[in-house]
Amino acid sequence: MISYFAAIWRNTKAILQGHWITLRYMVKPSVTIHYPDEKLVPFEKYRGALLFDAGVCISCNLCVKACPSNCIQLENAKNEAGKKVAKVDWYSIDFGKCNFCRLCEEACPTKPRSVWHSLDYEVIFTKRDEMVRCWKKDFSFHGKYWDTQAKDFLEPEGQVHIHDVQPRRN
Q: For residue 132, what is the domain's CATH number?
A: 3.30.70.3270
Asked if 92 contacts 45 with a C-beta cutoff of 8 angstroms, the reply is no
- Confirm whether 18 is domain-assigned: no
Question: Looking at the domain assignment, is residue 19 inside a domain?
Answer: no
Q: Is the pLDDT of residue 8 over 90?
A: yes
User: Is 16 within the bounds of a domain?
Assistant: no
131 and 95 Cβ atoms separated by less than 8 Å? yes
The separation between CA 14 and the C-alpha centre of its own chain, rounded to angstroms, equals 46
Domain-located, residue 79: yes
pLDDT band at 155 (very low <50, low <70, confident <90, very high): low
Residue 29 lies in a domain: no
Of 56-60, 120-124, 153-157, which gets the smallest average pLDDT? Answer: 153-157
Domain range enclosing 74: 50-151
Label residue 66 by pLDDT band (50, 70, 90).
very high
Query: Is 164 a domain residue?
Result: no
Report if residue 5 sits inside a domain.
Answer: no
- Count helices and strands (H / E) in the chain: 3, 7
How many alpha carbons fall within 13 Å on the CB side of residue 30?
4
- 162 forms beta bridges with none
Full DSSP string of 64-92: HHH-TT--EEEEEEE-TTS-EEEEEEEEE
Q: Is 120 contained in some domain? A: yes
Q: Cα separation of 124 and 138, whole Å?
A: 25
Confidence of residue 160 (pLDDT cuts 50, 70, 90): very low
Domain count, the chain: 1
- Put residue 29 in one of left, alpha, beta given phi > 0 → left and psi -120 to 50 → alpha: beta
This prediction's pTM: 0.63
For residue 86, the one-letter residue type is A
31 versus 170: which is more confidently predicted?
31
Of residues 42 and 147, more confidence is placed in 42
Q: What was the pLDDT predicted at 28?
A: 87
Pick the more confident residue, 124 or 8: 8
Among the ranges given (11-25, 96-110, 131-145, 155-169), the one the predictor scored with the smallest mean pLDDT: 155-169
Mean pLDDT of 133-138: 75
67 falls in which pLDDT band (50, 70, 90)?
Answer: very high
